[in-house]
Amino acid sequence: MNIREIFAANLRFLRQTKGLSQEELADLADVDRTYVSLLERCVYSASIDVLAKLAHALETPSMELLREPTLGSCSQSIES
C-alpha cells in the first residue's frame, strides 16, 4: 500500500466508524463532498492542511490518517 492508499483507507474507515456520510464529514471539515469522495478513491492526495481539517472533524489525531492499517482494521474497508 502506498501512502495515498493508506490515507484513503483510514479516512473511509474512520468516517464510517463515526457514522458520518461523506457530506457530513465534508461539512465538518469545511471541504467539498466530492473532494472527500475523490480522496477516498485515491484520485487526489490531500495537503497537510486538509489532512488536519479532516482529522479534527473526525476527532482523531492527524497521524491516525497516515498510520498503516493492521490486519483486520481498515484494510477490510477497502474491499467493501
Domains, in order of start, for the chain: 3-63 (1.10.260.40)
CA distance 25 to 57: 7
Percent of residues in the chain assigned helix, strand, coil, to nearest 5? 60, 0, 40
Q: What is the mean pLDDT of residues 26-51?
A: 97
Confidence (pLDDT) at 71: 57
CA distance 56 to 42: 20
80 pLDDT higher than 50: no
CA distance 31 to 28: 8
69 pLDDT higher than 90: no
Q: What is the mean pLDDT of residues 56-79?
A: 76
**pLDDT class of 72 with cuts at 50, 70, 90:** low
CA distance 77 to 65: 14
CA distance 61 to 36: 18
**pLDDT class of 79 with cuts at 50, 70, 90:** very low
